[in-house]
Amino acid sequence: MSLFVQDEDDQISSEPTLSTTYEQTDEDMPDVQEESIEEKKDNEDELDPVVQSIPIHLKPVIINQELNILQYPGRPAQREYNNIVTSQIKPKSKVIAISTQIDTTKFYDEQYKYNTDLSNLIKTQVHEGNLINTPGTYIGSVQDNKLVLAPLDNVAQLRPALNYIDKDVAQKKQMQQLDARQSQGTGPVQVVQMTVKSSSDTAPRLGGALLSRKIADDEDFVNYKWLGKASTAERSLFDLTETEQEKILLTKGTKKEYVDLLVKETASV
Amino acid sequence: MVSRKRSSSNSGPGSLPNKHHNHRHDSNSAANDDSFNELLKPIYKGKSLADEVNTAEDKWNLLPAFLKVKGLVKQHLDSFNYFVDVDLKKILKANEKVLSDVDPDFYVKYLDIRVGQKSSSKTKDPILPPHECRLRDLTYSAPIYVDVEYTRGRKIIMHRDLEIGKMPIMLRSNKCILDGASDSIMAELNECPLDPGGYFIVNGTEKVILVQEQLSKNRIIVEADEKKGIVQASVTSSTHERKSKTYVVTKNDKIYLKHNSISEEVPIVLVLKAAGITSDLEIMQLVCGDDATYQDLFVVNFEEVAKMGIFTQQQALEYLGSKVKTMRRYKLTTLQEGIEAVATTIIAHLTVDNLDFKEKALYMAMMARRVVMAMHNPKMVDDRDYVGNKRLELAGQLMSLLFEDLFKKFNTDFKANIDKILRKPNRATEFNPLLSINIHSNNITSGLNRAISTGNWSLKRFKMERAGVTHVLSRLSYISALGMMTRISSQFEKSRKVSGPRALQPSQFGMLCTSDTPEGEACGLVKNLALMTHITTDDEEDPIRKLCFLIGVENISLIDSANLHSAYGVYLNGTIIGTTRFPTKFVSQFRSLRRTGKVSEFISIYTNLHQKAVHIATDGGRICRPLIIVSQGESKVKSHHLLQLKQGKLQFDDFLKQGLVEYLDVNEENDCFIALYESDLSINITHLEIEPFTVLGAVAGLIPYPHHNQSPRNTYQCAMGKQAIGAIAYNQFQRIDTLLYLMVYPQQPMVKTKTIELIDYDKLPAGQNATVAVMSYSGYDIEDALVLNKASIDRGFGRCQVLRKNTTILKRYPNHTKDIVAGMRVNENNEPIFQHQSLGPDGLGEVGTRVESGQVYVNKCVPANASDSIMDQAAATTEHRETPVTYRAPEPSYIDQVMMSVGDNDQALIKVLLRQTRRPELGDKFSSRHGQKGVCGIIVQQEDLPFNDDGVCPDIIMNPHGFPSRMTVGKMIELISGKAGVLNGSLEYGTCFGGSKLEDMSKILVDKGFNYSGKDMLYSGITGECLQAYIFFGPIYYQKLKHMVLDKMHARSRGPRAVLTRQPTEGRSRDGGLRLGEMERDCVIAYGASQLLLERLMLSSDAFEVDVCNECGLMGYNGWCTSCKSAEFVVKMTIPYAAKLLFQELLSMNIAPRLKLGDVF
């Protein structure tokens, strides 16, 4: 399947607590109602009449499979990356990294300073980003006048990681320190008084972003299965044929009950 | 506009209240509100239910309905209720655990917090009633209970209703026993049912926490200094933990980020890279969008960072971390410092807990964008003085800041105590933390009390010291107390000479009173709320965010930089949460949800076209006011609604729920078209004013016909109305205040306003209707002086009582001795001596007796040796020394009340209230309600005063020169309306932008055989001849002001002198001398009266004889010069002691002034 669908994706939000209780091949209740609310509002707004109503098909959540949107800010949507080398993830801290082959035939400078070590030519580009959970978001596509929605798990914005620069800087710093130490030589011996402190007193209690960062740094990347564009997975996700034996879900509640459900947190007494 | 049908004689509102007692349709909630009940009667204000209802004229009825729900001090009550019910729980949640450093398993966890109510009981704890607290100098407070869970050994124990201190209770808040009390209960508790509440009683004094005005927090404010060419966007981030300010500023046309804890300005591009936006393209897109001009302005910023060689987030973070200057207990690496800076320090109100800095990056990019916009177009700056950018901080918020500080201190003390105990190696018993929690409970109680009673708000965590937050509630008159409750003080410096903050802002229309501000240094900085304002409390953000996504806002985390600026940004409390492509539709949908009550009515939403933004505000402290919704050019409030309102079937809240009326804050008002009158409605109009006179506040609302006056006169009246003597409250005779002025025969004004009725000024008035003749008389009326009629004064005009309190405490001493009250002493005839004439056998003044200067009214005695140790058995029975409380004043007083009680530290408390009844005398100050003040210049026998055909004599003669320059036309109209009302037997209205029409009043005058203009033919009382001119003659409401000659008169021949300078003391209270100042001195010099000068400046002041040595020029003593060691050249002479002092002080600084003497003649 292609993951580069951000141009045509149609995000429809719904009550997050409800979106977890789907059954396979069922059309989802909240969405049907949402449609009707839209209609109602449209009716009120006479300048914008309802032209056509189309059925919504809601695809089920597939367990053990995630549907993520990867965004590459700074790269036009038309220019897809189709030379993915590896895809990796840190499952706990939800960092995703994808490396792509660099086209060394065009605009590639082998003499560039980070390429000086020819044995270690940079030939892949690593994109990194954080997966952000977006409950109540769907990917949709229109097929045969039917809107097919698949629940979306995460969104990530991937940016070039340029880790080799950091590595290089760190290396140089280390070298400098070593140099400095060597040039200092063995100076006069200093008497250092040492006190023993329990480690709990001195170790900083990390919290918030620092803690997240530490967890992420400590965690190792694991391979993440990449379903390429040509895969059949895409079809299975959006295929209407797999949802032949569909049941039409009718709502039991009224519009008012539904709206009240939606605003139950904000309504003033 | 509003009320013209007052002409039928039986419809005067004064005749109504008793007529229809049996026809009450009231519901239970209205039972205690008589003013509202009148609305429910068949005939209200001269109209019956059968009358045709005209929406245009009757929609003002919404106003009493609003005030019934809201009241004038509702903002204080709401805020306090929010604090005790919601905010306290939030504070508890944020500080819920107390952990020990010693025992990692130990914890104390707070589960719940309540004020004045135990978890087991359904009702409030009984607390001491407020009036008793006033009298006994106690604090009106209720216990704070917490439920805790803690470990004891291996067990987890839960404990309910643990008292951690006492919370001062705001009167009439929902924790107060007066909440919802009926009039009869109020009477039982000695409370005035008209008293608005909203203040605290701390140590017996009534304290108000004034509303504080501040710049809104967590919002971007863009400002430009055109001279320096600087544009800056700043945001004050305020969280529970800290307050900090982040700036995005230009410097040489490049943009930097500035923060107090970052040592130098950091290029904005670098900060954005540190926040994870490593791509230059993306930064450009975030800040500038597609706009080429913005891109040109911004592009220069990339250069600097590129030159630094910073490309990755890690590099940027390390750079940032190296610039951070913070004090930490633990050393962090520069990378960690950088992460910490981006995550928590910069723009502190958005705290990032995970690795996703996108929200923060967007916020900074938006700040940079606003700066770029202002660089491009200097008009894109914000106005600090705009009311929409202000937030009002109320009692509840201030209390919550203070409480959190105290609670944190309480917890740290508690923790320290626990650690101390747990550290002990072998404890005999299992540790019970609750034993040590009670030790600290006094800290919270006394901390709260001290802050409220001194007004010093010191918050450790913000390192903030603020003085003068609370004020003693002024009880000079009902209106002065009410005026204080609606007052807003600004944090702005009074001394700075900038006009902006003081100027009348167009945006304060309907929100803040346009007239009521003091003159002088605080002018324009102290403001007052208008009549129909509401101040919001905080609302939850999260549900609103979810709701926004539900109605079509695209989540910001899904939006990429390229598409960000193509749609409208949706901002929730200043932070972008998403975008919408159809802002108009979104806003109208949101509004319709609000109008149907699906969203809190105080949440505002408005579009800002310049910023392409939709702003939603849920934060507290915004000023808003209700307006009638208009759709399709028609008011939604129809006559049948008002009919139902009158019948009591609808309340104000029903109007809100049905979407007929809604609250708009200042920002949203800018997004609306608001019609003043129903006749102005058209298809574009969105809202309609309920009543235009609500632009004024409670105090300015007393002025009749203010729209005919020159505006400063209304401002003057607002200041003077607070000084008028009148009725204070229904419980005024039960009160024992330090100083209380009461008018003996107060009257409600002949010419009322709607506001007067709404705020019940007619029930507790401060003034009398005087018959005024505008003419010259006797020459004692120049410079606004008034001529008073002696017979009127005899009848009680302007008579007032002054009640003064004296408090005596009978102390107990550590050696078991105590102060006592001794009986009276008698002379040889067994009659009490003069000093003890008013004393009773108990040694206290007898109620009703007269005390003259020099007489004693509390014969207190202190033990002769209070310092001896307890061991001395004799000490307990030692003799006492008399330290009587003596009355000293030019005029005698009468003892009104004597109270003896026990204060909170078991010491006897004696309060004696002394009363003087004063009739007006020469020099007493009076004023009308139009800023026209004057003193009494002469009191004339009634026989000598002019009279009219009916034999009516004026009470006051006022000089006509008071009118031309002051242009108080309203006063003239008040006279005509008042006169018409007198003749007609009705009370007339002078409501702002409405009121009784002059034509109608003139018509009544003509009908009753008077001149249409209010002039009468008068006859001289002296000659009996007809006066040569027609005299403007009729009733005007006059106030007696608190400035009275008796309190000011002062003279001295000899008296006390200051110790240091030996010059006479200063001021009346110290029996001081009258100063011959510099200007007077210059006059005497110019006149050449040198001997007078010598006498005034030296002989009558501080003449001092010194010995001066003519040889060395220094001063000696006893005829001996100490420096020359001889008496040969010593001369005696007289110089001012101050001069001698100066010479000696100079000597002490190694400067030797030497006197060279020469012969005078």
The pLDDT tens digits for B977-997 are: 999 999 999 999 999 998 899
Q: What is the pLDDT of residue B874?
A: 54
In a domain, A207, yes or no: no
Query: Same structural domain for residues B1097 and B949?
Result: no
> Smallest Cβ distance to B558: which of A74, A137, A161?
A137
In a domain, A100, yes or no: no
Q: What is the pLDDT of residue A234?
A: 57
Q: Containing domain of residue A158, as a range?
A: 29-84+128-180+223-261
Q: Does A209 contact B598 at a Cβ distance shorter than 8 Å?
A: no
SS3 for B1-15 is CCCCCCCCHHHCHHH
In a domain, A206, yes or no: no
Query: Same structural domain for residues B1027 and B1138?
Result: no
Please state, as a whole number, how many other Cβ atoms lie within 10 Å of the Cβ of residue B22: 6
Chain B residues within an 8 Å CB radius of A165: 311-312, 315
Query: What is the average per-residue pLDDT within B513-536?
Result: 90
> Smallest Cβ distance to B558: which of A134, A160, A262?
A134
Element (H, E) at B642: helix B639-646
Query: What is the average per-residue pLDDT within B500-513?
Result: 89
Cα–Cα distance for residue pair B302/B269, rounded to 1 Å: 6
Around B1137, how many Cα atoms within 13 Å sit in the side-chain half-sphere?
14
Residue of chain A whose alpha carbon sits nearest to that of B539: A266
Query: Same structural domain for residues B368 and B261?
Result: yes
Q: Does A159 contact B353 at a Cβ distance shorter than 8 Å?
A: no
In a domain, A101, yes or no: no
CB B176 within 8 A of CB B456: no
Q: What is the pLDDT of residue B564?
A: 85
Query: Same structural domain for residues B191 and B255?
Result: no
Q: Does B593 contact A216 at a Cβ distance shorter than 8 Å?
A: no
> Smallest Cβ distance to A210: which of B279, B340, B357?
B340
In a domain, A153, yes or no: yes
Query: Same structural domain for residues B456 and B555?
Result: no
Q: Does B558 contact A11 at a Cβ distance shorter than 8 Å?
A: yes
Q: How many domains does chain B have?
A: 7
Q: What is the pLDDT of residue B6?
A: 36
Does A113 have pLDDT greater than 50? yes
Cα–Cα distance for residue pair B1060/B1057, rounded to 1 Å: 9
Residue of chain A whose alpha carbon sits nearest to that of B558: A155
Residue of chain B whose alpha carbon sits nearest to that of A213: B355
Chain B residues within an 8 Å CB radius of A162: 278, 311-312
List pLDDT tens digits, range A46-98. 567 788 888 887 777 766 677 788 888 878 878 877 777 888 888 888 888 88
Stretch among B326-330, B518-522, B1110-1114 having the lowest mean pLDDT: B326-330
Query: What is the average per-residue pLDDT within B400-423?
Result: 86
Q: What is the pLDDT of residue B72?
A: 79
From the CA of B443, how many Å to the nearest CA of chain A? 29
Cα–Cα distance for residue pair B351/B555, rounded to 1 Å: 19
Q: Containing domain of residue B328, as a range?
A: 227-377
Does A4 have pLDDT greater than 50? no
Residue of chain A whose alpha carbon sits nearest to that of B334: A210
Query: What is the average per-residue pLDDT within B341-348?
Result: 85
Chain A residues within an 8 Å CB radius of B597: 267-268
User: Exposed/middle/buried for B350, CB within 10 Å: 0-12, 13-18, 19+?
Assistant: buried
Q: Does A73 contact B554 at a Cβ distance shorter than 8 Å?
A: no
In a domain, B1156, yes or no: no
Stretch among A201-210, B478-487, B547-556, B1081-1090 having the lowest mean pLDDT: A201-210
Residues of B tagged active-site = 784
In a domain, B775, yes or no: yes
Query: Same structural domain for residues B98 and B172?
Result: yes
CB B340 within 8 A of CB B318: no
Two structure tokens written together for B672: 């609306």
Residue of chain B whose alpha carbon sits nearest to that of A204: B330
List pLDDT tens digits, range B239-272. 877 788 899 999 888 999 999 888 889 999 999 9
Q: Does B344 contact A93 at a Cβ distance shorter than 8 Å?
A: no
Query: What is the average per-residue pLDDT within B779-791?
Result: 93
Compute the mean pLDDT over every residue in chain B, rounded to the nearest whole number. 86
Query: Same structural domain for residues B893 and B938?
Result: no
Does B946 have pLDDT greater than 80? yes
- Which residue of A8, A10, A69, A266 is the best one to mutate when testing the B interface, meaning the one whose CB has the most B CBs within 10 A? A266
What's the CATH code of the domain at B617?
3.90.1070.20
Chain A residues within an 8 Å CB radius of B536: none
Query: What is the average per-residue pLDDT within B709-731?
Result: 93
- Of B319, B347, B377, the last residue of a domain is B377
Cα–Cα distance for residue pair B1065/B1056, rounded to 1 Å: 6
Query: What is the average per-residue pLDDT within B952-972?
Result: 94
Q: Does B540 contact A130 at a Cβ distance shorter than 8 Å?
A: no
In a domain, A97, yes or no: no
Query: Same structural domain for residues B874 and B764?
Result: no
Stretch among A12-16, B563-567, B682-686, B982-986 having the lowest mean pLDDT: A12-16
Q: Does A169 contact B315 at a Cβ distance shorter than 8 Å?
A: yes
What's the CATH code of the domain at B1125?
3.90.1800.10
In a domain, B259, yes or no: yes
Query: Same structural domain for residues B891 and B929?
Result: no
Chain B residues within an 8 Å CB radius of A163: 312
CB B76 within 8 A of CB B112: no
Q: Identify the band that residue B33 occupies on the pLDDT scale cut at 50, 70 and 90.
A: low
CB B231 within 8 A of CB B375: yes
List pLDDT tens digits, range B998-1054. 999 999 999 999 999 999 999 999 999 999 999 999 999 999 999 999 999 999 988
Q: Does A208 contact B540 at a Cβ distance shorter than 8 Å?
A: no
Chain A residues within an 8 Å CB radius of B352: 208-209
CA-CA-CA-CA torsion sign (B1054, B1055, B1059, B1063)? negative
From the CA of B447, how many Å to the nearest CA of chain A? 31
Does B790 have pLDDT greater than 90? yes
> Smallest Cβ distance to B558: which of A155, A161, A162?
A155
Chain B residues within an 8 Å CB radius of A45: 585
Angle at B185 (CA atoms; ends B179, B187), nearest 5 degrees: 115
Q: Identify the band that residue B493 occupies on the pLDDT scale cut at 50, 70 and 90.
A: low
From the CA of A245, how many Å to the nearest CA of chain B? 30
Cα–Cα distance for residue pair B906/B911, rounded to 1 Å: 15
DSSP B529: B
Q: Provide the residue type at A60 as one letter.
A: P
Q: Where are the beta strands (DSSP E) in B906-1047?
A: 908-918, 925-928, 933-940, 956-958, 988-989, 1015-1019, 1026-1040
Does B696 have pLDDT greater than 50? yes
In a domain, A163, yes or no: yes
Chain B residues within an 8 Å CB radius of A263: 547, 593, 598-599
Q: Does A204 contact B332 at a Cβ distance shorter than 8 Å?
A: yes
> Smallest Cβ distance to A93: which of B355, B585, B598?
B355
Query: Same structural domain for residues B372 and B472?
Result: no
- Which residue of A9, A10, A13, A126 is the best one to mutate when testing the B interface, meaning the one whose CB has the most B CBs within 10 A? A13
How does strand B1026-1040 pair with strand B768-774? antiparallel
Residue of chain B whose alpha carbon sits nearest to that of A169: B315
Q: Identify the band that residue A31 occupies on the pLDDT scale cut at 50, 70 and 90.
A: very low
Stretch among B204-218, B247-261, B338-352, B602-616 having the lowest mean pLDDT: B338-352
Stretch among B321-335, B741-755, B1089-1103 having the lowest mean pLDDT: B321-335
In a domain, B501, yes or no: no
List pLDDT tens digits, range A162-194. 777 888 788 888 888 888 877 766 566 677 776
In a domain, B69, yes or no: no
Q: Identify the band that residue A232 occupies on the pLDDT scale cut at 50, 70 and 90.
A: low
List pLDDT tens digits, range B177-195. 988 888 899 999 999 999 8
> Smallest Cβ distance to B278: which of A15, A159, A204?
A159
- Which residue of B534, B596, B598, B657 is the best one to mutate when testing the A interface, meaning the one whose CB has the most A CBs within 10 A? B598
Does B407 have pLDDT greater than 60? yes
Query: Same structural domain for residues B349 and B480?
Result: no
In a domain, B494, yes or no: no
Q: Does B344 contact A11 at a Cβ distance shorter than 8 Å?
A: no
Question: How large a percentage of chain A has pLDDT more than 70?
Answer: 59
Three-state secondary structure call for residue B281: helix
From the CA of A212, how many Å to the nearest CA of chain B? 5
Q: Identify the band that residue B156 occupies on the pLDDT scale cut at 50, 70 and 90.
A: confident
Q: What is the pLDDT of residue B719?
A: 92
In a domain, B503, yes or no: no
Residue partners of B78: CB distance under 8 A and separation at least 6: B394, B396, B534, B535, B537
In a domain, B64, yes or no: no
> Smallest Cβ distance to B281: which of A74, A157, A166?
A74
What's the CATH code of the domain at B1005?
2.40.270.10
Q: What is the pLDDT of residue B776?
A: 93
Two structure tokens written together for B715: 């401002």
Query: What is the average per-residue pLDDT within B1115-1122?
Result: 89
Question: How large a percentage of chain A has pLDDT more than 90?
Answer: 0
Cα–Cα distance for residue pair A235/A237, rounded to 1 Å: 5
Query: Same structural domain for residues B301 and B330?
Result: yes
The residue ranking higher by pLDDT, B646 or B44, is B646
CB B316 within 8 A of CB B338: yes
List pLDDT tens digits, range B228-247. 888 999 998 888 777 888 99
Residue of chain B whose alpha carbon sits nearest to that of A15: B550
- Of B1025, B1040, B1055, the last residue of a domain is B1040
Q: How many domains does chain A have?
A: 1
Chain B residues within an 8 Å CB radius of A210: 332, 336, 339-340, 343
Cβ pairs bridging A and B (under 8 Å): 124
Stretch among B14-28, B240-254, B644-658, B1090-1104 having the lowest mean pLDDT: B14-28
> Smallest Cβ distance to A13: which of B331, B356, B550?
B550
> Smallest Cβ distance to A267: which of B312, B352, B597?
B597
* CA nearest to A126, candidates A81, A94, A91: A81
From the CA of A208, how many Å to the nearest CA of chain B? 4
- Which residue of B560, B565, B581, B582 is the best one to mutate when testing the A interface, meaning the one whose CB has the most A CBs within 10 A? B560
List pLDDT tens digits, range B448-477. 999 999 988 888 877 788 888 899 998 989
